[in-house]
Structure 1
Amino acid sequence: MTRVLLATRNAKKLTELRRIVAAESITGLEVVGLADLPPFPDAPETGATFEENALAKARDAVRETGLPVIADDSGIAVDALNGMPGVLSARWSGRHGADDANLELVLAQLNDVPEERRGAAFVCAIAYSFPDGDEGTLRAEWRGSVIRERRGTGGFGYDPIFVPEGETRTSAELSAEEKDAVSHRGQALRLLVPHLKALAQQA
C-alpha cells in the first residue's frame, strides 16, 4: 500500500479525493492528509498564480515527508472584480479560512453589479510532486455566476453563492456526487487519475 499525501488540513478536500480514488477503482493507495502526519511549518502562499502556490505546497511537503504529495490551490475568480479574489480567495477578508467573512465581502463588493455582469469561475490548480522527481500541475475551471444571497448548506467556501452554468441550484445545494462530477476540483482530480494509477502500480 502506497501512502500519498494530500497537503491540506481541509477534511472536505480529503474526502473529495478519497471519493474519486474509490470511484476510479484505484487500489493500492492510501490517501492521508496533513492531520495524519507529524506537523511541519507551512510554506507561505506567495505565488501570483494558483499553479505556483500549489506546486510550492507540494514541493515543500515532499521535502518534509518523503511521501508522494498532491496539493491544490483553488479559489473563485469574479469577472466584475477583474478576476479577484483569485489566489487571495481564502483570505479575502484579511483572515485565512474565514469563509463567512470572505463570502460576505464578495457579496458586498458586488452589491451594485447587475445580474448579467455577475459571471465567475471556480478555479483549481492541482500539483503533484513525487519523491522520484516527477512533478507537474493540472488546471480546471467551473463557470457560473454569483447570486445575491447564500443558499444551501453543502460544500464550503463560496459554494453557497455560486450557481454553475446550466444549473438553478448553488454549488452548496448539489449532492457530493453531483459536485464531484462537474466541479473545478473534481475535474482537476480526474486529470490526476493517470498519475495516481501509475503511483499505485509501483506499490
Structure 2
Amino acid sequence: MKKLIVASNNQGKIKEIKEILKSFDLEILSLKEAEIKVDIVEDGETFMDNAYKKAYEIYKLTGEMVLSDDSGLMVDALNGAPGVFSARFAGEHGNDKKNNKKLLKLLKGKKNEDRKAKFVAAMVLIVNGNNTIKVQGEAKGYIIEDERGNNGFGYDPLFFIPELNKTFAELDGREKNSISHRGKALELLKDKLKKL
C-alpha cells in the first residue's frame, strides 16, 4: 500500500481528506502520524502558493507522495480577507473562537448582501518527481451573525449555505464533503489521480 502524507496536523482536514480518498489503495498519514515535525512558513500570496510550498518541502524530506491543502475564507465586504491569513486572523494560529469573534466584529451592522463569502481550497499532490497535480475548489455562502451547529471547525459555524438553510457546522460529514470547497477540490484531484 502506497503512503500518502498529508502536510497538515489539522484533524478536521485530515478526517475529511481520509473520508473522500478512501476508495484509493493508500495509507493516508498526517504529519504527526508520519512522525514529521517541521514548521513551514506559509508566506505565499495565494492559497496555491502556500499549498505548493508545503507539499514540496515535505516531498523533499520524505520522497513519499504528499498532499497539501491551503484553504480559507474570503469575505467580499473585507476585500477578500481573512484570505491566506484565515487560520491566524486574530493573531494566534488556529484559535477558531478568536478568529470567529474578530470576523463578527468586522461585519457588525453589515446587511446580508454585504456578508457574501466563499471558502477556497487549493490542493497540491506531488505524486513523484514528474507528476504534480494542482486543483482548487470553492463554496459560496454568507456569514451569519451568530454561530450555529457543532460539527466542522474554523469558520464553519458562521458560514451559511442559503440553498440548504444550514451552516457548514450543521451538516454531517458526508453532506459537507459533497458541497464544500475541500470536497470539490478533492473530487477534481480524484479524477486526475485516476488518469495517472
TM-score, normalised relative to structure 1: 0.92
Q: How does 1:30-45 map to 2 (within 5 A)?
A: 30-45=27-42
Alpha-carbon separation, structure 2, partners of 1:85 and 1:117: 15
4+ residue segments displaced more than 4 Å: none
Letter in 1 for 2:109: D
Task: List per-residue Cα deviations over 1:1-57 (Å, max 9, x = no partner).
Answer: 1011111101221111111122xx32x211111011233322200000000000000
Bigger relative contact order (CA 8 A; separation at least 6): 1
1:9 aligns with: 9
1:110 aligns with: 107
Letter in 2 for 1:135: T
Q: Does 1:125 align with 2:122?
A: yes
Letter in 2 for 1:8: S
SS in 1 for 2:14: helix
- State the superposition RMSD in angstroms: 1.3
Alpha-carbon separation, structure 1, partners of 2:193 and 2:152: 24
| Deviation for aligned residue 1:198 | 5.6
Q: How does 1:52-201 map to 2 (within 5 A)?
A: 52-197=49-194
2:19 aligns with: 19
TM-score, normalised relative to structure 2: 0.95
SS in 1 for 2:32: helix
Count of paired positions = 196
Alpha-carbon separation, structure 2, partners of 1:165 and 1:18: 28
Letter in 2 for 1:115: N
Residues 5, 34 of structure 2: 8 Å contact kept: no
Letter in 2 for 1:168: N
Letter in 2 for 1:53: N
Alpha-carbon separation, structure 1, partners of 2:162 and 2:80: 17
Residues 50, 73 of structure 1: 8 Å contact kept: yes
| Deviation for aligned residue 1:195 | 4.1
Alpha-carbon separation, structure 2, partners of 1:111 and 1:95: 22
Alpha-carbon separation, structure 2, partners of 1:88 and 1:165: 25
Any gaps of 5 or more consecutive residues in structure 2? none
Any gaps of 5 or more consecutive residues in structure 1? none
